[in-house]
Structure formats: C-alpha cells, structure tokens
Amino acid sequence: MSITLDQVTKRYQGVPVVNDVSLDIGDGEFFVLLGPSGSGKSTLLRAIAGLAGVDHGRIALHGRDVTHVSPRDRGVGLVFQNYALFRHMTVAENIEFALRVRRMSASERRKRRQELLRLVALEGMDNRLPAQLSGGQQQRVAVARALAHKPEVLLLDEPFGALDAKIREELRRTIRQVQRELGITTVLVTHDQEEAFAMADRIGVMNLGRLLEMDNPHELYSRPATRFVATFLGAANLLLARQTKEGVRFGKTAVNAHPSNPGHGSREHEVVAVVRPEEIEVAPTRETLGAIYLAHGSVEEILFTGALERMRIRMDDEAAAPLSNSNGSAVPLLEVTRTQHEQRAFQVSPGQAVAIGVRRIHILPTPLSSFTACAPSESQVEGLSQHPLLVELATRMKTRISTRVEPCLGIPGAACEAEGAFAGTTVIAAEPDVAQQTQWLLERGADEVLILPPNAPSPQRVLIHWADENVRGATLAVAASVLRHVAAAAIYVGILPDRTPEMQRPHGVRALLDARSEAQEVHGLEMRTELRFGDVASELTRQLAETPGQMLILGVCSATGVAERFGSLLTSARWPVLIVHRAPEVVLS
C-alpha cells in the first residue's frame, strides 16, 4: 500500500474536521477525495503531506509510519489551487527548488528540469517568470516542481479550481498522462464530481469530516450506499418506498419493481429508493410505457441543454413524490433527463399529462428513511415536528417529517388502537410518561423511536449500546446512518454485570473489538469502545449525565419490559435517545 490512513482524526477547537478516517491507497493508484467545501478533504490531504498534524490515528507512506515526520522528509509532492509558485523565481528556479535544497549539481538539475518541462509540455519556458505565464501554464509548472524530487506520492489540492473550463480539461488530461507515465500514487482533492469521474481510479466521498464511501466511479454512481453520495454524485431522485416481499411499492401504486440490489431481510419496511433522472421514461399513457409504471404526472418545466433535455414533473400521487429537490418548491418535483432520441420519439410540452415509468431502481441500504412526529394531540405534534434537532436531521438526511396524532399514545390497553403501520422513525417528545409511550409504540410495530427532549442540541458524542446481540447489526446500521449526518464521535459502550468473574472479562473485551471491526467493515463506521461494569440502565444514565451534548442509540430486540428496564434512563432524559427495535427473525422450518 502506498498510503495507509488509520483512524485519522483532526480537530479544530474541539470540532472534528476529519473524523476517524481509515483508508488504503494502492501503488500507482489515482485516488480522488470528493466532497463539498468544509467536508475535511483538504485538511486530510494536508495531514497526508504533514502540513497539518493529526490528533489521533496513524499515517503510513509505503509502509513507513510518517505520523510524526515533518513534511520535508515525507517524500510527497503537493500542488495547490492557487499554484503557490515562487513569484520572484523563474520557471527553471521554481522547478529546481527541491533539487537545489538537496544540493544537486547544476548539470544534473538542468537535465532533470528539461525532463520535467517536456513531461508537462512547457519546453523552452525555463526563463519566464510565473507572472508571464497563463494560469494553466503556471499550474503545469507547479506540477513539474512538485515532481522534481521524485516523490513517492503526488498530492493535488483542487488544482483546477482557478482555471476556465477548456484549460481545465486540457490540464486534466496532462496530469492523468503524467501520472500514468510515472506510475506515481496520486491523491486529488476536488468538489467537482465530473472531475472526479474523469480522473479517478477510485473515489472516496467525504462529508462532515467522514469518509462516507469509496469505490470506483461506476459502482459509486450506480450503487451508492448513502443518500449523500447518491445526491452528490450526479442528480438523483430520492423516493420513499415500501419494501415488500413482492417488490417495491411507491405511494398507492404497487410497482412491484425489483430493485438492482436485493432488500435486507424479509421484513416489510419503509426504504429510500434512488432513481436517476436518466432512468425515467415518460410516455403518453401507461400502456405505451416500455418501463415499469410508477405514476402519472404533469410536466412543469422543460429545459433544453443541448445533448439532453431536462424536465421536472409534478406527480399526481403526492405520497410517491420525491423527497428532496433543488428548487425548493413545496412538493418536490421529479427530475427527468431525456436524450435527443427519446425527445424525437415523444414530444412533450409544459403542462402536458404523462405517464411515468422507471427503468432502474436502487434501494439505499440505509435503515433510516423518514421521520413521523407522533403525540397525543394536534398542537403537540405541530410543536414536535418543528424541534430544531429533528428539522436539522431531516434536512441533512434530505427526508420528510410527517405528523401523526395518537390520542391513546402511551395508555396501555386503551380502547383505541393505532391505525396502520408505523413507517420510518417515530419521534416523540420526552414527556413524563415517555417510557410508556415508547413501549406502546414498539408493541405496535415501530422500528425506531426517537425521543427528543426540548431544546436538545446537535450531539457531539453518540453513545451506542445494544441490550441483545441479535440487534447488533441493526443498531450499528442505524448508528452509522445517524453519524453520517451529524459531526459527532461514536462510542460503543459495552456493559458487563458487576459480578462478572475475572475469567469472563476477556470475553467482554473480545465482544467490544468484534463490534468495532463489524462497524468498520460492514457499515464504514469508525467508533471507539468503552467497557463498563454494572447495571445497564444506570451505567448509561450516569455516562450520559457526565457531559452535555450526548445522544444514545439503544438497540432492543423485544418491546416487552422496555418501560421497566429503561424507564429511569428514558424518563430522566435530558438527552436524545434513539431506540432501535428489531424482533428476531423467525426462521420457519
């Protein structure tokens, strides 16, 4: 491996900007770190270069631990967005800088310089000053300079950011060519997904300091695991759907489309589906659709962009409407792109009613789909649905908050019973009878219950615990999903009973390490672990009370006794608690 990052964390004033990033980059690989501004990608690059120290974790280059090695001894070449050329030196002096530092002889320096100038196609420019060159040429000089001392790793920090489109394309090709010719391991940081697609062998997508997913461009585009990656890499329609044994159902219409990836387990539950705009077909009627029918809709807007036509369609069945869109209208519209060929086959004008079909559906493996604020009265529901933390979570997860009034919420054995299944995550306020409410919801089939105390801030630390090994996977999946959307540290708290004999303690530690590696491998979640002794509820309460700004994710496998076991923990809740409930799957013989 050329570059190995192990749980690298960097904080600025206590806030993690790079959060537990682990990564292996192979020899000669072109790796692109992609993310919006402020996602921590540049900081991570600077950490690899040694210009930013890390607070936690290890960095190795070619098997050599360089975590505490200064940048000048790391053997990396770095290229900056603003070129960072030495303006009082000529092209030749700039390129020879690293060689001069190494006291290389003048003739050797000249030879190496000619070689590099040929590589970046700038022969004969030796005696120019940077100010006499165009932006593209300056960046070529910067690349040549960064390669002069034959570094083992080339790092590029948004190298095309200051260039116009045409030059950018040309320089991209040059850099890719140089990289192939030298076979040098390269990491490029960018916020431009098109650039990432054009250059990368592998892309790692970062958001909020975390490395969310990494894979080759094609896999990432067609099979994203998170909604952030799905929407950040190209356009995507996110739709809420119901996964059933027969297939996927959108809104009222049973689509029975089989997604590109099989669902998880046989449990019927709400899922988030990704439909790319180019995978949508429009036709005059349902019968003339070639693809699987989704819904009817009317065309709101058509935009001609040359090769492609972009459309926005309002769906008649609002329950099946997309979760998010960029235009901010009340009911999001479905984004569709069509090729010239498709346009010729079926001409569409604004306002026209069309039938919509989908060619390919991808179901996100994320367990958190949408939120439903639930309370006994209309006014309480209204208040709860505007809870700042809930709104923040929903916005970041690009999902919707629906409301549901349950007059008998929390009253055991009440005459009125809940109607219909609880979809997604049910949210309740931390009322005095919150424990009863929780149990009531879990007994009626709620999969996740989020308890929000008033004014709960966005958490800095998320504690994770499961009361039963059967829900380990589900709890970790939910925790990973939550932590992708909040910049917080994850801590798994393992709790053994007080009277655990010495001999069994190693088992506890073992379970902790297993949990950690499962979180990392299956869910891409980096978490720390802590081992405690004592009663589960009181240990968790004690730890949550220690510092403010914490949240608990608690996995349980049965609804019975939840109020009793965790009553104290929930009732005194000054912190958000997310309960993950999965009944063990019944295996029929």
Partner 1 sequence: MSIKQPSVLPGFGLTFGFTTFFLCAIVLIPLAALVLVATSMTWHDFLRLVLSPRALASYRLSFGASLLAASINLVFGFIIAWTLTRYDFPGRKLIDALIDMPFALPTAVSGIALTTVFAENGWIGRYLEPFGIKVAYTWIGVTVALTLIGMPFAVRSMQPALLEVQRDLEDAAETLGAGRFYVFRRIIFPTVLPALLTGFTLAFARAVGEYGSVIFIAGNLPMKTEITPLLIVIRLEEFDYRGAAALGFVMLVISFVVLLTINLLQGWGRRRLVQAAH
Beta pairing partners, 115: none
Q: Is the CB of 62 or the CB of 267 nearer to partner 1? A: 62
| 74: nearest Cα among 88, 104, 53, 93 | 53
149 counts as binding partner 1 under rule CB under 8 A: yes
Whether the CB-CB separation of 335 and 282 falls below 8 Å is answered with no
Which of 16, 35, 40, 50 is close enough to bind partner 1 by CB under 8 A?
50
Question: How open is the CA angle 177-183-188, to the nearest 5 degrees?
Answer: 70
Q: Is the CB of 121 or the CB of 129 nearer to partner 1? A: 129
- The tally of CA atoms less than 13 A away on the side-chain side of residue 385 is 19
CA distances from 160 to 30, 77, 191, 253 (A): 16, 16, 11, 47
Number of residues that bind partner 1 (CB under 8 A): 34
Q: Is the CB of 88 or the CB of 505 nearer to partner 1? A: 88
72 counts as binding partner 1 under rule CB under 8 A: yes
110 counts as binding partner 1 under rule CB under 8 A: no
* Contacts with 187 (C-beta within 8 Å, 6 or more apart), sequence order: 3, 25, 31, 32, 33, 45, 48, 153, 154, 155, 156
8-state DSSP, 322: B
Based on C-alpha coordinates, what's the Rg of the chain? Answer: 27
- Kindly state the smallest distance separating residue 79's Cβ from partner 1, in Å: 9
405 counts as binding partner 1 under rule CB under 8 A: no
Q: Is the CB of 77 or the CB of 410 nearer to partner 1? A: 77
Beta strands, E only, 453-509 = 461-466, 489-496
- Kindly state the smallest distance separating residue 46's Cβ from partner 1, in Å: 8
Which of 3, 17, 45, 76 is close enough to bind partner 1 by CB under 8 A?
76
Q: Which helix (H) or strand (E) is 369 found in, with range? A: none
* Distance separating alpha carbons of residues 19 and 490, to the nearest angstrom: 10
- Kindly state the smallest distance separating residue 479's Cβ from partner 1, in Å: 37
10 counts as binding partner 1 under rule CB under 8 A: no
Q: Tokens for 409?
A: 């919420």
Reduce the DSSP state of residue 360 to 3 states and report it. coil
Q: Which segment (48-56, 265-273, 523-531, 560-568) binds partner 1 by CB under 8 A?
A: 48-56
- Kindly state the smallest distance separating residue 84's Cβ from partner 1, in Å: 4
Q: Is the CB of 141 or the CB of 208 nearer to partner 1? A: 141
Whether the CB-CB separation of 294 and 282 falls below 8 Å is answered with no
b vs e for 251-264, b when ≥16 Cβ sit within 10 Å of the residue's Cβ? Answer: beeebebebeeebe
Q: Is the CB of 49 or the CB of 203 nearer to partner 1? A: 49
68 counts as binding partner 1 under rule CB under 8 A: no
Q: Is the CB of 92 or the CB of 229 nearer to partner 1? A: 92
Beta pairing partners, 292: 358
135 counts as binding partner 1 under rule CB under 8 A: no
> Taking CB under 8 A as the criterion, which residues in 438-477 touch partner 1?
none
Q: Is the CB of 154 or the CB of 482 nearer to partner 1? A: 154
Reduce the DSSP state of residue 398 to 3 states and report it. coil
201 counts as binding partner 1 under rule CB under 8 A: no
148 counts as binding partner 1 under rule CB under 8 A: yes
Q: Which segment (68-76, 509-517, 537-545, 558-566) binds partner 1 by CB under 8 A?
A: 68-76
CA distances from 80 to 140, 161, 188, 203 (A): 11, 9, 10, 20
Q: Is the CB of 61 or the CB of 390 nearer to partner 1? A: 61
Indicate left, alpha or beta for 578 from its phi (over 0: left) and psi (-120 to 50: alpha).
Answer: beta
| 156: nearest Cα among 53, 31, 35, 70 | 31
> Taking CB under 8 A as the criterion, which residues in 79-98 touch partner 1?
80, 82, 84, 86-90, 92-93, 97-98
Which of 15, 101, 345, 421 is close enough to bind partner 1 by CB under 8 A?
101
Which of 51, 69, 291, 583 is close enough to bind partner 1 by CB under 8 A?
51
Q: Is the CB of 49 or the CB of 333 nearer to partner 1? A: 49
Residue 135 — φ and ψ, nearest 5°? Answer: -55, -45
Whether the CB-CB separation of 569 and 545 falls below 8 Å is answered with no
Q: Is the CB of 64 or the CB of 72 nearer to partner 1? A: 72
Q: Is the CB of 81 or the CB of 243 nearer to partner 1? A: 81
Q: Which segment (4-12, 69-77, 523-531, 552-560) binds partner 1 by CB under 8 A?
A: 69-77
Which of 10, 112, 145, 191 is close enough to bind partner 1 by CB under 8 A?
145
Which of 13, 37, 70, 105 is close enough to bind partner 1 by CB under 8 A?
70
78 counts as binding partner 1 under rule CB under 8 A: yes
- Kindly state the smallest distance separating residue 203's Cβ from partner 1, in Å: 24
Q: Which helix (H) or strand (E) is 368 found in, with range? A: none
Instruction: Give me the torsion for CA of 13, 14, 15, 19, rounded to 10°.
Output: 120
8-state DSSP, 221: H
Q: Which segment (123-131, 357-365, 385-393, 486-494) binds partner 1 by CB under 8 A?
A: 123-131
* Distance separating alpha carbons of residues 83 and 542, to the nearest angstrom: 53
* Distance separating alpha carbons of residues 575 and 589, to the nearest angstrom: 43
Q: Is the CB of 34 or the CB of 76 nearer to partner 1? A: 76
Binding site for partner 1 (CB under 8 A): 46, 49-51, 70-74, 76-78, 80, 82, 84, 86-90, 92-93, 97-98, 101-102, 127-129, 142, 145-146, 148-149
